[in-house]
Amino acid sequence: MPNATYIPPQEQDPADLAWMREALIMAEEALAADEVPVGCIFVKDDQAIARARNRTNEWRNATLHAELEAIDHLLPNHPPPLSSITLYVTVEPCVMCASALRQIGIGRVVYGCGNDRFGGCGSVIDVNSSDLVNTHEPFVAEGGYYREEAIMLLRRFYMSENQNAPNPKKKASRVLKTDIPPPPSGINTPSSRPASVPPNRNNRSLKPPDEGGEASAAAGRLAGLALGESTIVQGSGAVGGDA
């Protein structure tokens, strides 16, 4: 299973865009609640079966990312594997959340912008390329859906004062950036497939590139994983390398 595939706007399915708009609504709710604006929705047979937003600040719990919050509500009625279920989430799942999605056997993940600090679908680590213990088959991961909107939500959040920070920084003089560069094109990014090549939804068995020991290198990053979406952006107002 290759890293996440970037789907250019002209190739995006209208149905996927409609569900991503629902995820963006959840992200807007998170922003209104002074949370990192990440929202998600799980869909099965064209029906929403769970939706959630980031609640890490509300409960002072760094693990309450949108995906894990939704999974808690999902599993009692939908035991793994969840191969017939699609997750729509505004930001690439962090390594912690992507690993959880692999554990429950999610079938497909559709996200907005990449997460160059903690991304688990290829931006930092690709959980699908590792032989993880007690997991199901790798899931399909596709990014780029309402990417700019997802980035702008994050930028708006990091323009605001964070009252939960130990030493809140004054941000009154900052200017909201509106220019958004194109997706990165490195081999471990969501845009690894050239935009001119249409997505092949019938062939998901391509051999992943040689990661050169990436799995072992991951151990050095684990100390920060619990922060995930809570620290996607530091003062620059950029979402890793994707904003």
The pLDDT value recorded for residue 134 is 76
Residue found by looking up tokens 């056997």 in the block? 105
The pLDDT value recorded for residue 162 is 60
The pLDDT value recorded for residue 169 is 61
The pLDDT value recorded for residue 171 is 56
Using left for φ > 0, alpha for ψ between -120 and 50, and beta otherwise, residue 83 falls in alpha
C-alpha pair distances (Å), 146 with each of 17, 32, 66: 7, 19, 17
The pLDDT value recorded for residue 235 is 31
Evaluate if pTM is beyond 0.85.
no
| 140-143 and 108-113 strand pairing | parallel
The active-site residue out of 28, 35, 67, 69 is 67
Residue 168 burial by Cβ neighbours in a 10 Å radius (0-12, 13-18, 19+): exposed
The pLDDT value recorded for residue 168 is 60
Token pair listed for 174: 């900052």
Length of the chain as a residue count: 243
For the chain, what are the domain ranges? 5-231
The pLDDT value recorded for residue 163 is 62
Task: Output the furthest CA–CA distance in the chain (Å, rounded).
Answer: 51
Instruction: Please answer whether residues 138 and 102 qualify as being in contact, where contact means their C-beta atoms are separated by less than 8 angstroms.
Output: yes
The pLDDT value recorded for residue 229 is 44
Q: 5-231: which CATH architecture?
A: 3-Layer(aba) Sandwich (3.40)
Instruction: Please answer whether residues 49 and 31 qualify as being in contact, where contact means their C-beta atoms are separated by less than 8 angstroms.
Output: no
The pLDDT value recorded for residue 159 is 85
The pLDDT value recorded for residue 119 is 97
Q: What is the mean pLDDT of each run of 10 residues along the chain (243 residues)?
A: 84 98 98 97 98 96 97 96 98 97 97 96 91 86 97 91 61 69 58 34 32 32 38 38 48
142 labelled catalytic: no
